[in-house]
Amino acid sequence: MTEMVVPTGGMPWLTLILILPLLGVVATLIAHESLSRQIALATSFITMVASLPLWFAFDNGNAGMQFVEKHQWIDSPAIHYALGVDGISMPLVLLTTFLAPLCILVSWTAIDMRLKEFMISLLVLETATIGVFVALDFVLFYIFWETMLIPMYLLIGVWGGPNRVYAAIKFFLYTLAGSILLLVAILVLYFEGGRTFDILALTHASYAPNLQALLFWAFFAAFAVKVPMFPFHTWLPDAHVQAPTAGSVILASVLLKLGTYGFLRFSLPMLPDATVTFTPIIMTLSVIAIIYGAYMALAQSDIKKLIAYSSVSHMGFVTLGIFALNAQGIEGAVLQMINHGITTGGLFMCVGIIYERTHSREIAENGGLANAMPKYATFLVIFALSSVGLPGMNSFVGEFLVLLGVFAWDKLTATLAALGIILAAVYILYLIQRIVYGPASATMLPKLTDLNAREFGMLVPLVVLVFWIGLYPKPLLDVMHSSVERVIASQSASVIVQKEELPSDHVLVMTEGLSHSFNQRDTEAIP
């Protein structure tokens, strides 16, 4: 076993934030069930604090991986415990650690059955999600990717609504089907990429166009289901409606980003030629998702289902920005991944708060909140306006950059996508008009009590981020800029390997030294 290498700071920060939630799992198992909430909250808060050095010690000018750790795990085949983050994955790690304690707080009184198992599921899910974002070995990545399925399945299937079993099985089958094709793609890359699972080494290789096409659609199957892109989205509304509030928050805010992260980490840099070839298809599906999701949201009577369909629409903007294949579009997409996690997480928390009081998610039964719950109504309106993309709030910056990047790619596509923003304003403002300013139900009115200290405290940090990113997005954009430029460079430096130029059994050509922009990518920290 080789020595662990930690180039940044001498402290294995990534290993630490992976292990801490698992230590919380052990502590929860040992302790009495009544202490489960406190242990889980303390563990998730400590993990969040331990993740902060990633932000403060991050070198914005370095496009390569930072905080790298690597040691031999299995000799043959060569599989490494390899971790690292760049400007794309690091903000997503921080988003995960930031939301984890909020998910526990929102479940504080909502969950009273099998409390210990619930908290364990949340902590395991946190570790698995972080692991996906930091893994630099494909086998390690796949282990974390599959591990996520188990706690999320349990959260929906055990603590969900009346149709929880149907929703959980549907979520599991959709995701598992995509994961099988992902495994096939990983194995093909291993054999055709020099018999290595090293993600960075495989990224530095160029593959024949036909092979790229096959790998692209295998990746697409896994990542599109996770986003979810149209037409693979049907599991999401069911999962959201049946999931407990914490499950909906973590599903919308973090798990959906795994698909878009996969496109950025694998599809674009590894398969540049196939990406360019199939971009029009992805852009078409993204525009359909934006408009279709918005129209479906407009027709919903269940608040949770409305927000679920809005996620389909908003994630369409993210995939649109990614496949614009320019810096503005990709930076806007990454920023919108963060924004969607904050805003939609806040909206689902608000739904969970009102559901605890009225035990109803029907829009018609939850009116008159402005008078009965003014503090709650204020938070709800803020998150709703953020979802619309009001200037001064976080989503405006991300959507503006995405549309700017897409406009450079194709003006008609950008125009159609902009229609989605108008439709978002329609269904969100219509929702606010009915539940905030609409007539109160006589049966529900006695149940409407305003926010307590715990609920107020868990919503405030999200509101702070809404306005901070909306008014001053520069720190986030500076973090991701170099890494995004590296992804763009991988596109411009790609060389299409013509099949007739190679022997029939030769499909791999190393492309080091083909251009200056490509050479800059050889500065990765893993030795």
Establish if 305 belongs to a structural domain.
Answer: yes
Question: Which two tokens mark 255?
Answer: 């798990």
Q: Which long-range contacts (CB under 8 A, 24 or more apart) does 436-443 make?
A: 436/369, 436/370, 436/377, 436/380, 436/381, 437/368, 437/370, 438/367, 438/368, 439/367, 439/368, 440/367, 440/368, 440/369, 440/371, 440/372, 441/364, 441/365, 441/366, 441/367, 441/368, 443/365
Percent pLDDT > 70 in the chain is 91
pLDDT the model gives residue 515: 33
How far apart are the C-alpha atoms of 19 and 25, rounded to whole Å? Answer: 10
Q: Which two tokens stand for residue 485?
A: 């430029």
Task: Outline where 193-208 has alpha helix (H).
Answer: 199-203
pLDDT in tens, 2-31: 333 444 456 788 999 999 999 999 999 988
Cβ atoms of 33 and 115 closer than 8 Å: yes
DSSP per residue over 429-442, as a string? HHHHHHHTSSPPPT
> Residues in the chain, how many?
527
pLDDT, residue 135, reads: 92
Band of the pLDDT at 130, cuts 50, 70, 90?
very high
Q: Beta strands 508-510 and 205-207: pairing type? A: antiparallel
Tell me the pLDDT tens digit for each residue of 175-200.
888 888 899 999 988 888 778 888 88
> CA-CA distance, 138 to 312, in Å (whole number)?
28
Torsion 334-337-340-345 (CA) sign? negative
- The whole-angstrom separation of Cα 312 and Cα 130 is 23
Looking at residues 139-144, what average pLDDT do you find?
Answer: 92
Q: Residue 302 gets which letter from DSSP? A: B
Dist. CA 506–CA 247, nearest whole Å: 46
Question: Which residues, including other chains, have CB under 8 Å from residue 84's CB and lie 6 or more apart?
Answer: 14, 65, 66, 67, 68, 69, 134, 136, 524, 525, 526
Does residue 440 fall inside a structural domain? yes
| Domains: count for the chain | 1
The per-residue pLDDT for range 381-391, each reduced to its tens digit, is 999 999 888 88
Q: How confident is the model at residue 273 (pLDDT cuts 50, 70, 90)?
A: confident
Q: In Å, how far are 213, 277, 323, 491 from 210, measured between CA atoms?
A: 5, 11, 20, 17
DSSP helix/strand/coil, 135: strand
Could you tell me if residue 33 is inside a domain? yes
Alpha carbon separation from 331 to 17, 60, 155 (Å, rounded)? 26, 14, 32
Query: Would the pLDDT of 129 be above 90?
Result: yes
**Cα–Cα dist 478/179, whole Å:** 33
Q: Is residue 7 part of a domain?
A: no
Task: Return the pLDDT at 45.
Answer: 94
pLDDT of res. 238 = 84
**pTM of the entire structure?**
0.85
Q: Which whole number is the average pLDDT over 260-277?
A: 88
Assigned domain for 2 exists: no
Q: Which two tokens stand for residue 113?
A: 């059955």
Query: Residue 491's pLDDT band (boundaries 50, 70, 90)?
Result: low
Task: Give the pLDDT confidence score for residue 452 in this predicted structure.
Answer: 87
User: Which residues constitute the domain of residue 226?
Assistant: 13-523
Q: Do 215 and 207 contact (CB within 8 A), yes or no?
A: yes
Residue 3 lies in a domain: no
Average pLDDT of 302-307? 88
Residue 490 has what pLDDT? 73
Beta bridge partners of 69: 83
Structural domain includes residue 173: yes
pLDDT in the model for residue 492 = 63
Asked, for residue 424, whether it belongs to a domain, the answer is: yes
Exposed/middle/buried for 433, CB within 10 Å: 0-12, 13-18, 19+?
Answer: exposed
- Do residues 414 and 336 lie in contact, with contact meaning Cβ atoms separated by under 8 Å? no
